[in-house]
Structure 1
Amino acid sequence: MKGLILNQYYAIGNSVRNYFVLSIFLAAVFLFTQNEWLLTFAAFVPIIFMVSPALEVLKHESKSGWNKFVLTLPLKRSHVVKSHYLFFIMLMFIGLFIVIGVFVVAELLLENILVEQAIYWMMNGVGVAFVLGFIAYPLTYLLGSEKSDMILMVSVIAGVGLFFLSSWLYEQILINVSPYVLQGLNHDMLFSAGFLVITLVLFIVSYVIALQVYKRKEF
């Protein structure tokens, strides 16, 4: 498993490093503007940027012929799929650490940046990243790596769209619920935690689906 993950890193190492630097730069720019809307993007962008190279791996493996060669090794297909998902999660956590690091530095320099709301933005960013993985991996296994760019674009749009749709639905639920029931609840935390849990479940379901697709795939 370690070898599979290292192979993925070596395949897209330059992209990982480029996205790493770009993520820090953009997050810093967004934070130092102290614009509330851009502060939200500062929590989203690094996470989304860092998982993007993980989704490029399948295309690189197809071009190099690795996706066929790996099947000749004493490995199960489940190991290959698991390595892709683990690599995705590793890059997602790197993106999350970038966000936390930049927010901490901005708090030291500007103050009133690392507020409670920032934690909810980070949770939402992780949730959107889970949606990307939920859509991208099964579809790429099914349709082929040749369409990976289109699938990645669709995944990003779907992830952001699902977030805004979930936010709208949550607001509609609040409108129709008695205020006495909701009294004392932290609605931002409730929504972010719920969105994160739901997308995590979808990500796990995605792994099961992707595994079945990959096992049946002919190369």
Structure 2
Amino acid sequence: MRGLFLNNYYSMQSNIKVSLSIAVALLLVTFFVSDIKVMNALIAGQIMLFAVSIGSSLQVDEASKWSRMEITLLVKRSTVIGAKYLSFVMLLLLGMAISVCTTILLSLKESVSLANLWNGYSFGLSLAIPVISVCFPAILKFGVEKNEMLLFLSVAAALGMRFLVWVLINMTGNTVNFNGSEVGNAALMVSLLMFAASYFLSVRIQENKEF
């Protein structure tokens, strides 16, 4: 597992550096802007930056022929997929680490309620997690050459999921804002379920995969 995880890290290394550079550049916005809505959007964007890099990393595996070699390894295919999802968790944690730096910097600049900034975290995670959950098994099934299209569809699916959650909550008689914490928290819970389901689906696809 450790070797597989390290291989995934090396294949994503260049994309991580690019995402990290952009996320740090966005961090500098904190020096000039204090509006809560803008900061929430900034935090969500920093988290999303790392999630959308998964397609490029899979292209590296395809170019190096590793994607074909890994299914011949003397390890369970579920272990291979498990290492992939562990790598995705690492990406999410990196995005959150940078966004936490944004929160700390803003709190040093002025008094701010951390509860008000939670919307940025919940929005970012409730988009990033579904994007990964939909995009990876789709690429595994249809091929990395369709990476851009599948990533676009995954983003659309993530937004659609959040919209559906918003509609369902409003149907209960509770009028809530699309960007509100109620929708964010509910969408985040659904996202975690999607992530778990995505893992089992990916394992199934990998087990049926041939050369």
Moved more, 41-50 or 117-126: 117-126
Give runs of ≥4 in structure 1 deviating > 4 Å. none
Q: Which residue of 2 aligns with 1:80?
A: 80
Q: Which residue of 2 aligns with 1:196?
A: 188
Q: Which residue of 2 aligns with 1:35?
A: 35
Instruction: Flag the 1:50–1:114 CA change in 2: closer, same or farther, 3 A.
Output: farther
Within-5 A mapping of 1:1-219: 1-29=1-29, 32-109=32-109, 111-170=110-169, 172-173=170-171, 176=173, 188-219=180-211
| CA distance in structure 2 between the aligned counterparts of 1:92 and 1:35, rounded to whole angstroms | 24
| CA distance in structure 1 between the aligned counterparts of 2:79 and 2:31, rounded to whole angstroms | 40
Amino acid at match of 1:116: A
Gapped regions of structure 2 (runs ≥ 5): none
Shift of 1:28: 3.4
Amino acid at match of 2:126: G
| CA distance in structure 2 between the aligned counterparts of 1:121 and 1:168, rounded to whole angstroms | 20
Other structure's SS at 1:127 match: helix
Other structure's SS at 1:33 match: coil
Moved more, 58-67 or 29-38: 29-38
Check the 8 A contact 1:32/1:106 in 2, yes or no.
Answer: no
Instruction: Flag the 1:79–1:199 CA change in 2: closer, same or farther, 3 A.
Output: same
Moved more, 78-87 or 115-124: 115-124
| CA distance in structure 2 between the aligned counterparts of 1:198 and 1:31, rounded to whole angstroms | 34
Shift of 1:165: 4.0
Check the 8 A contact 1:103/1:114 in 2, yes or no.
Answer: no
Deviations 1:69-100 (A, max 9, x none): 22232111111111111100111011011101
Other structure's SS at 2:53 match: helix
Check the 8 A contact 2:15/2:56 in 1, yes or no.
Answer: no
> Alignment RMSD, CA only?
2.3
Aligned residue pairs, count = 209
Deviations 1:112-145 (A, max 9, x none): 3453121232022112111111211111111011
Instruction: Flag the 1:129–1:62 CA change in 2: closer, same or farther, 3 A.
Output: same
Moved more, 51-60 or 9-18: 51-60
| CA distance in structure 1 between the aligned counterparts of 2:119 and 2:38, rounded to whole angstroms | 15
Gapped regions of structure 1 (runs ≥ 5): 180-186
Other structure's SS at 1:47 match: helix
